[in-house]
Amino acid sequence: MSEYIFNLPDLGEGLVEAEIAEWMVKVGDFVQEEDPIGAMLTDKAAVELSAPVSGRVLSLAGEVGDTIAVGAPMIIFETEADQENGNTQTTPPAPVVEETVAVEIAAPKEEKLSVQAKTGNILTSPSVRRQAREAGIDLGQVRGSGTRGRILRSDLESHRADGPSASGRPLAAKALSNEVTKTKVIGLRRKIAERMSEANREIPHFAYVEEIDITALESLRQHLNSQKLPSEDKLTLLPFIGLALVRVLKQFPQCNALYDRERNVISQYQAVHLGIAAQTPDGLKVPVVKHSESHSLDELANEIRRVSTAARENTAKREELMGSTITITSLGKHGGIASTPVINLPEVAIIGVNKAVERPVVVNGQIVIRTMMNLSSSFDHRFVDGFDAAMMIQALKSLLEQPACIFITE
C-alpha cells in the first residue's frame, strides 16, 4: 500500500486559491478513479473534481468554507503500491468544470433538516442530479440537510436506503420552539458580502434619483403585447429601459466603463455588455447580455429572459456571468419609491429601476393621472462627474418619456 497526495489543481483565470464548496467523500470511504470527490468554489463557478486514482480516503484538507491554495494537498488516498509505481505524489489530471453557476455548492450541516418541495428550485450539485436521474429518484421527495434544504450526496444515499416514504414524511409540527439554526457564511453568500463591502469601501458612490413619466411607454408596451400570440412571452419594461440605455451610452461612454485598480486604468467600451441583476434562491447574481447594442427590442427581451432564467435555475455558463460593463437592477413591484444600488465592481455605474405607479401629477396646469416611475442610479464619482451623471439620466428620461425616439437609429 502507498499514499497518493491529490493537490488542488489550477482552476484557471489566474486563481491562487479556491473555497471548499462540498465534500462528496469522507475519511474512510473507498472511491474509484473518476468518482466525484468534491467541489471547489471560484468567483464564478463551482468546479467539481474527480478522483485521479482508486483508493481509500485517509485525510481531507479542511472543512466546507475553508480555502485551499492551488498546489496544496487536498486529499490523501491510500492506494495499491503498484498503482502509483512507488510515487507518493503526482500532478492530477485537469478537473471537470461543470457548466453551472457558483451557487452549486454545499454547506455545513445545520441544526435542523428540511424537505424539498416538489415544485420550486431544488438545490443540489450536478453529480447528485446525475445520480438521482440514473436511479429514477424524484429529488423533490429527498430531504436536504444543506443550506436552504440543499440536497447533499449523503442525503440521496439515505433516501435510497430508507425509501421515499421515510424521507417524504412531513416534519412534526411544534407549538413553540427555541431552536436556532446556525449556518456558516460560505460560498456565494460570502462572495456577495465581500464584493458589497469592497464596493462600498472602494467606491465613492454618487447617487441620483429622477422620476420618469412612463405613461406613453406603458401604453406602447401594452399595445405591442396585444399583438403577440398567447403563447409568446410578453414584454416587460426592462428591455425598453435597456434599449434606451444603449442609445444614451453613445453620448456618455464614461458611464460604460470598467476600472482596473491594479493597473490604475479606466477602459471605456463601445459595446454595451448589459448586466441584469437577478435575485435567485442563493443570492444576487448578474447574468450578462453581451453586445446589447446589436439587439432589437424583442431580441433584447429574449436575451434578458434567457440569461436571467439560466441564473435562477443554476444553468448559466461562466461566460454568461462575467464581463458586464454596466448593470440594471430592478425589484419589479417590490422596487419601492427609491433605492441606493451598489455599483457592481469593476463597473462605474448602475441603474436602479423602481416600481411604476399611477398617481396625480400636474401637466400643463391640470391635475391628471399619470404612470410614474423613479430611476435610482449610482455612479463612481472618481470617474463620472455629477454633472455628467445627471445629464445621462436626463437623456435616458427623455427617451423613456418619448419612447418612439428609442427606435430612431443614426
Task: Report the catalytic residues.
Answer: 381, 385
Cα 337 from Cα 355, distance rounded (Å): 7
Backbone angles phi, psi at 260, to 5 degrees: -95, 105
Query: CB of 243 within 8 A of CB of 297?
Result: yes
Sign of the torsion formed by the C-alpha atoms of 224, 226, 227 and 229: positive
**Separation of alpha carbons 129 and 141, rounded Å:** 13
Give the residue from 50, 188, 43 showing the smallest Cα distance to 123: 188
Q: Between the CA of residue 243 and those of 11, 68, 118, 299, 328, what are the distances in Å?
A: 36, 43, 38, 10, 11
Which grid cell sits at 327? 448593470
Q: Please name every residue paired with 373 in a beta bridge, in sequence order, or none if there are none.
A: 212, 356
Q: For residue 23, list its beta bridge partners.
A: 38
**DSSP code for 151:** B
State how far the Cα of 52 lies from the Cα of 27, in Å rounded to an integer.
Answer: 16
As given in the structure block, the three cell numbers for residue 406 are 428609442
**For 104, what's the count of Cα atoms within 13 Å in the CB-facing half-sphere?**
28
Do 355 and 375 contact (CB within 8 A), yes or no?
no
